[in-house]
Structure 1
Amino acid sequence: MRLTIKTWLLPALALLWAGLAQAAGLPGPVVDSAWLAANLGEVQVFEVRSNPKSFTAAPEFETDAKTGKKTLVEVGGHIPGARLMDTKPLRTDKKVGELTVKYMLPEMAAFETIMQAVGVDADRPIVLVPVGTDVVDLDDALRAYWQLKVYGEDNIAVLDGGMAAWLLEGRAHSSDAAPAKTGSWRAKADRSARYGADSEAVAAAVASKSATLIDGRDLRSYHGLARRDYVHAAGHIPGAKVLPPELLTRPVSGGAVKLHSLATYRGIAAVTGVDADKPSIAYCNSGHLASGPWFVMSELLGHKNARLYDGSMHQWTLEKRPVEGAIPLQ
Structure 2
Amino acid sequence: MAGAAHLTTPLVSTEWLAEHLDDPKLRILDATVHLAPPTEAGADWSQSSGRPDYEAAHIPGAAFADIIDELSEPDGGWFTKPTPERFAAAAGRLGIGPDTTVVVYAVNVFWATRVWWLLLANGFDNVAVLDGGFGKWTAEGRPTRSGTESYPPAEFVGTPRPELFADLDEVRQVVESGTGACLINSLSPEDFHATETLSYPRPGRIPGSRHVFVAALLNPADGTFRPVPELREIFRDVQAEPGRKVTYCGGGIAATGDALALHLIGETDVAVYDGSLREWTSDPTLPLEVG
Letter in 2 for 1:118: L
Which whole-Å CA distance do the structure 1 matches of 2:127 and 2:240 have between them? 23
Whether 1:113 aligns to 2:97 is: no
Whether 1:86 aligns to 2:66 is: yes
Corresponding position of 2:18: 37
Whether 1:243 aligns to 2:212 is: yes
Q: Secondary structure at the match of 1:209?
A: coil
Partner deviation per Cα, 1:109-163 (whole Å, 9 max, x = no partner): 11112222333333211111122xxxxx211000111111111100001110111
Letter in 2 for 1:48: A
Corresponding position of 2:42: none
- Structure 1 residue 277, shift from structure 2 partner: 6.3
Which whole-Å CA distance do the structure 1 matches of 2:282 and 2:101 have between them? 38
Whether 1:262 aligns to 2:261 is: no
Letter in 2 for 1:54: D
Matching of residues 182-261 of structure 1 within 5 Å: 183-193=153-163, 195-206=164-175, 207-229=177-199, 231-252=200-221, 256-261=222-227
**Contact 1:122-1:186 within 8 A present in 2 as well:** yes
**Contact 1:108-1:187 within 8 A present in 2 as well:** no
Which whole-Å CA distance do the structure 2 matches of 1:276 and 1:170 have between them? 42
**Structure ID, larger Rg:** 1
Which whole-Å CA distance do the structure 2 matches of 1:93 and 1:173 have between them? 32
Whether 1:49 aligns to 2:32 is: yes
1:286 to 251, 255, 268: 251
Partner deviation per Cα, 1:44-94 (whole Å, 9 max, x = no partner): 11111111101122xxxxxxxxxxxxxxxxxxx111111111221222356
Partner deviation per Cα, 1:91-110 (whole Å, 9 max, x = no partner): 2356xxxxx64321011111
- Structure 1 residue 276, shift from structure 2 partner: 5.9
Which whole-Å CA distance do the structure 2 matches of 1:93 and 1:314 have between them? 16
Partner deviation per Cα, 1:199-254 (whole Å, 9 max, x = no partner): 1111222213221100011112111245354x3221111100111123111122xx
Corresponding position of 2:105: 129
Q: Secondary structure at the match of 2:235?
A: helix
Matching of residues 268-279 of structure 1 within 5 Å: 268-270=234-236, 273-275=237-239, 278=242, 279=244
Matching of residues 4-19 of structure 1 within 5 Å: none
| Amino-acid identity (%) | 27
Return closer, same or farther for 1:307/1:33 CA change in 2, 3 Å cut-off.
Answer: same
Corresponding position of 1:154: 125
CA RMSD in angstroms comes to 2.1
The unaligned stretches of length 5 or more in structure 2 are 34-49
Q: Secondary structure at the match of 2:215?
A: helix
Return the structure number with greater strand share: 1
The unaligned stretches of length 5 or more in structure 1 are 1-18, 58-76, 95-99, 132-136
Which whole-Å CA distance do the structure 1 matches of 2:15 and 2:260 have between them? 22
Whether 1:319 aligns to 2:279 is: no
Which whole-Å CA distance do the structure 1 matches of 2:215 and 2:6 have between them? 31
Which whole-Å CA distance do the structure 1 matches of 2:259 and 2:240 have between them? 11
TM-score (norm 1): 0.76
Letter in 2 for 1:44: R
**Contact 1:47-1:78 within 8 A present in 2 as well:** yes
Return closer, same or farther for 1:101/1:49 CA change in 2, 3 Å cut-off.
Answer: closer
- Structure 1 residue 176, shift from structure 2 partner: 3.0
Corresponding position of 2:272: 308
Which whole-Å CA distance do the structure 2 matches of 1:93 and 1:302 have between them? 34
Return the structure number with greater helix share: 1
2:113 to 114, 118, 142: 142
Whether 1:104 aligns to 2:80 is: yes
Which whole-Å CA distance do the structure 2 matches of 1:292 and 1:111 have between them? 20
Question: Across the two proteins, how many residue pairs are aligned to each other?
Answer: 270
